[in-house]
Structure 1
Amino acid sequence: MSLQVTDLSFSYGAKTALERVSFGVERGRFAALLGPNGAGKSTLFSLMTRLFGTQGGSISIAGHDLRVAPLAAMADLGVVFQQTTLDLDLTVQQNLRYFAALHGISGRAADRRIDVALDRLGMAERAGEKARGLNGGHKRRTEIARALLHEPKVLLLDEPTVGLDAVTRTGLTRHIHDLCLETGVTVLWATHLTDEVSDADQVILLHRGRLLADGRCGDLRGSASLSEYFAQMTGVSE
């Protein structure tokens, strides 16, 4: 498994946020971490990115135990957070160049990776534009391009389409699905929107900190729509 979570538990004082959550995602798969607000998705991402320390259970990224070999695990991880983290006064290219430098990538190697990442996300023509002037969709694409510069094996995206219109959301999800096929990167895409998930995707359904389901979307939903299945399992409508 490219990403493995085993018996993961976490509490905020007396409040349980995650309770013995276990799942795995194979290399090159698009996995949707699906759940309503408050399901535990953000807590899980905080644990995977070491913003929080694990209290129980384990996380393995590209074969590296996050607790035992944190540097190796984080080197194979790319992250796009829900809130934008671009420097708005820098251009698209400058934002990526700064990130590359933080990972020890410079010179021609940095130029090559930046060109490839921007081209793949359809942002090459906007390389010289300041981030402040980009629309929401282009900011997201820039952040995804940035997260791919160090060639991670696992890419985490936390509610990446929040605030985007339907057409932009559709285009972004299509780009990430294509990315899985083209590069073999493993994607964990956190969302509460069922229309961002296709039947071939893996669905990891969280609710109130517990894992309710884990499997291929088309198999899980059966004859119902994913939205109907989601409501049946959680009691929550989109």
Structure 2
Amino acid sequence: MGLEVRQLGFRYGPRQALDDVSFTLAAGQLNALLGPNGAGKSTLYALLTRLFSLQKGEIRLDDVSITHPSSRLKQRLGVVFQQSTLDLDLSVLQNLEYHGALHGLTSQHVNRAATELLERLDLADRRHDSIRSLNGGHRRRVEIARALLHGPSILLLDEATVGLDTAARQSINRLVRELCHEQSLTVLWATHLIEEIDSDDPVLVLHQGRLLADAPAHVICHKQQTRTLAEAFERMTELKESRRCI
């Protein structure tokens, strides 16, 4: 049960952005989606969240096909996109209240959930501060709080730490892992930063629209006979490039 993708394909005109991509997310864990810029990660997220209509393949939620955007899908998914969508002139709490209203949540529910999440994310003392006054790491925390406000079971993060310094990236990575452990949250974490992935993490390796691997990081390393995931990724992508040139 959970989120499953079957033979997903997508084109931008003549360009194949995704080609026969299939996987199932490991429940209650941080699933890493690894790929360089242009691999197809953002296209995949646009399809999972139904910002884009399906062209080929199927997305299933709890073994039920999701052919169109639905309230059920909206309730189950929380999303943090690469580009921030926070209103800079509103306060932290006002951004959360607006999100809650879009999900049809009562003000009591929003206030209760916001209080708990902001406390959990070390933002309780910033609830009335404008987003504009926050640094990049705190803004990302607000976006995570907003994505979790309606109680989703699946959290999609698309390059959530892009542009942040090392300390902020590590802090957010650690926070998301704690949420997986404490709340059985299923996470798909798209990144091109291999250092954000742990040895036991389930990893999807996406390159040029195709899924090259779907296994824990240490298994991928073993299959590629490398010491590190970075070496394994380099070997897989170089092999794919060389095959295209033949």
- Both structures adopt the same fold (TM-score exceeding 0.5): yes
Write the mapping of 1:143-182 to structure 2, written as runs, cut at 5 A: 143-182=143-182
- Superposed CA offset, 1:118-177 (max 9, x none): 112121121111100100000000000000011111110000111000111011101001
1:61 CA drift (Å): 2.9
Higher mean C-alpha displacement, 74-83 vs 216-225: 216-225
Task: Give the Cα–Cα distance (whole angstroms) in 2 for the partners of residues 226 and 89 of structure 1.
Answer: 41
1:26 CA drift (Å): 2.6
Conserved? CA contact 1:79–1:156, under 8 Å: yes
Task: Give the Cα–Cα distance (whole angstroms) in 2 for the partners of residues 75 and 113 of structure 1.
Answer: 15
Task: Give the Cα–Cα distance (whole angstroms) in 2 for the partners of residues 37 and 229 of structure 1.
Answer: 17
Q: Equivalent residue for 2:232?
A: 229
Task: Give the Cα–Cα distance (whole angstroms) in 1 for the partners of residues 63 and 154 of structure 2.
Answer: 11
Write the mapping of 1:192-211 to structure 2, written as runs, cut at 5 A: 192-211=192-211
Write the mapping of 1:72-91 to structure 2, written as runs, cut at 5 A: 72-91=72-91
Q: Equivalent residue for 2:242?
A: none
- Superposed CA offset, 1:97-120 (max 9, x none): 111111111232211100111112
Q: Equivalent residue for 1:121?
A: 121
**Secondary structure in 2 aligned to 1:46?**
helix
Task: Give the Cα–Cα distance (whole angstroms) in 2 for the partners of residues 111 and 152 of structure 1.
Answer: 17
Q: 4+ residue stretches of structure 1 with deviation over 6 A?
A: none
Structure 1: 5+ residue stretches without partners = none
Conserved? CA contact 1:34–1:204, under 8 Å: yes
1:63 CA drift (Å): 4.0
Q: Equivalent residue for 2:189?
A: 189
**Secondary structure in 1 aligned to 2:98?**
helix
Which amino acid counterpart does residue 226 of structure 1 have in structure 2?
L
Q: Equivalent residue for 2:215?
A: 215
Which amino acid counterpart does residue 2 of structure 2 have in structure 1?
S
Conserved? CA contact 1:65–1:73, under 8 Å: no
Higher mean C-alpha displacement, 62-71 vs 47-56: 62-71
1:70 CA drift (Å): 2.7
1:64 CA drift (Å): 4.0
RMSD between aligned residues: 1.4
Conserved? CA contact 1:64–1:73, under 8 Å: no
How many residues of Structure 1 are paired with residues of Structure 2 in the alignment? 236
Which amino acid counterpart does residue 126 of structure 1 have in structure 2?
R
Q: What TM-score comes out, normalization by structure 2 length?
A: 0.92
Conserved? CA contact 1:91–1:131, under 8 Å: yes
Q: Equivalent residue for 2:38?
A: 38
Write the mapping of 1:101-140 to structure 2, written as runs, cut at 5 A: 101-140=101-140
Conserved? CA contact 2:200–2:217, under 8 Å: yes
Task: Give the Cα–Cα distance (whole angstroms) in 2 for the partners of residues 125 and 65 of structure 1.
Answer: 42
Conserved? CA contact 2:97–2:107, under 8 Å: no
Higher mean C-alpha displacement, 49-58 vs 139-148: 49-58
Conserved? CA contact 2:155–2:187, under 8 Å: yes
Task: Give the Cα–Cα distance (whole angstroms) in 2 for the partners of residues 229 and 77 of structure 1.
Answer: 31
Conserved? CA contact 2:76–2:151, under 8 Å: yes
Structure 2: 5+ residue stretches without partners = 240-246
- Superposed CA offset, 1:181-205 (max 9, x none): 1111110011001000011211000
Q: What TM-score comes out, normalization by structure 1 length?
A: 0.95
